[in-house]
Amino acid sequence: MIEDRARRQLVKAAMAAPYLERQQEHELARRWKDDRDQEALHTITMAHMRLVIAMAAKFRHFGLPMSDLIQEGHVGLLEAAARFEPDREVRFSTYATWWIRASIQDYILRNWSIVRGGTSSAQKALFFNLRRLRARLAQGNEILTDSAIHAEIATALGVQVKDVAVMDARLSGADTSLNAPVGDGDNGSSDRMDFLRCEAPLPDEQVSRMIDDERRSAWLRTALDQLNPRELRIIRERRLAEDGATLESLGSALGISKERVRQIENRALEKLRSALATDRQPGATKNEVCVSA
């Protein structure tokens, strides 16, 4: 009630504020820009509060408090006053309209849903125009399917049809808590979260995979012990490093030709295959541990 009374008083004061002539507006803007005259700022903003209220009223169907929309529009009005250039011969109302609308739209996008949306210009255009365009298409004599409506809206706004479908689905329903009960009555009811599917492996699968990884690592360490220092260096830098070294770079580092590096590498791989085949635990498959050729 207090908020409604304050909003009515604000609307009444805004409507009572006199309109400004072009010269008056220019002088007030100049005083604010050059001298930071607070009285001039107050006068020019109060004279345009009716513009803020009218703009906020256009967005009232999004379900947010009108007082909040007016407050955000006032923030945009102050931003316009801070950036306005009086010498450009543009009326302040024309310049401020863009800032007021942008401030209100940003507030709606932040608070309409707990899921963040409208992060791109195309998504913003969809969010604020989809309902209007859908209503306009519904007024026609032709009965259109949802896919046809989505195609028409996508063409009108220059976006993809799938983006229209996603935004239409978002606007058609409110946010639902994952802790909301599903089922009748208190006994045996479940939360929506209980029906979410987890894509992670099951605990026993994770443990089995961890044991297998540890076993393979042990086999590989044992096999690497069969190599001499030069073979070990080539295998580590060629096969076990994230960015494998080239034959040329290893040849330069070791003082041998790249063909010699290739021969040593092939010999080392044969040693590893032999060691792994000998030391592999019973029941393990041939491909459990491998060093690719």
Query: Using one digit for the tens of pLDDT, what is the confidence trace for 270-280?
Result: 998 888 887 65
Q: What residues have CB less than 8 Å from 222, skipping those under 6 apart?
A: 275, 279
**Is 96 found in the same domain as 23?**
yes
Q: What is the pLDDT of residue 73?
A: 94
Report residue 117's pLDDT band, with 50, 70 and 90 as the boundaries.
low
Q: Do the Cβ atoms of 272 and 223 come closer than 8 Å? A: yes
Count of structural domains within the chain: 3
Same domain, 67 and 17: yes
Q: How confident is the model at residue 89 (pLDDT cuts 50, 70, 90)?
A: confident
Residues 162 and 215 in one domain: no
DSSP symbol at 240? I
Q: Has residue 293 been placed in a domain?
A: no
Q: Establish if 70 belongs to a structural domain.
A: yes
Q: Do 103 and 136 share a domain, yes or no? A: no
- What is the band of 13 on the pLDDT scale with cuts at 50, 70, 90? confident
> Both 51 and 97 in a single domain?
yes
Query: What is the predicted pLDDT for the residue at 99?
Result: 95
Together in a domain, 46 and 71: yes
Q: How confident is the model at residue 3 (pLDDT cuts 50, 70, 90)?
A: low
Residue 47 lies in a domain: yes
Q: Let me know whether 234 and 258 are in one domain.
A: yes
Q: What average pLDDT does this structure show over 82-86?
A: 92
Do 13 and 84 lie in one domain? The reply is: yes
103 and 140 within one domain: no
Phi, psi of 174 (to 5 degrees): -85, 170
Reference 236, options 270, 265, 276; nearest CA is: 265
Query: Are 166 and 134 members of one domain?
Result: yes
In 153-221, DSSP assigns E strands to 181-182, 190-191
Is 116 inside any structural domain?
no
pLDDT tier at 141, thresholds 50, 70, 90: low
pLDDT (mean) for 133-137: 78
Specify the pLDDT at position 31.
93
pLDDT-based confidence at residue 111 (cuts at 50, 70, 90) = confident
Domain boundary (90, 111, 132) is at 111
Residues 52 and 21 placed together within one structural domain of the fold: yes
Average pLDDT over residues 101-107: 91
Strand partners, 182: 190
In this structure, are 131 and 96 located in the same domain?
Answer: no
Provide the residue range defining the domain that includes 38: 2-111
Lowest-confidence segment of 22-26, 137-141, 226-230, 243-247 by average pLDDT: 137-141
What are the structure tokens assigned to 63, written together? 């379900």
Within-domain flag for 290: no
| Full-model pTM | 0.53
Whether the CB-CB separation of 45 and 96 falls below 8 Å is answered with no
Average pLDDT over the chain, rounded to an integer? 82
Residue 178 in domain: no
Contacts of 141 (CB under 8 A, 6+ apart): none
Residue 131: inside a domain: yes
Whether 176 has a pLDDT exceeding 80, the answer reads: no
CATH of the domain at 48: 1.20.120.1810
Residue 144, domain member (yes or no): yes
Amino acid identity of 84? F
Q: Is 32 in contact with 24 (CB distance < 8 Å)?
A: no
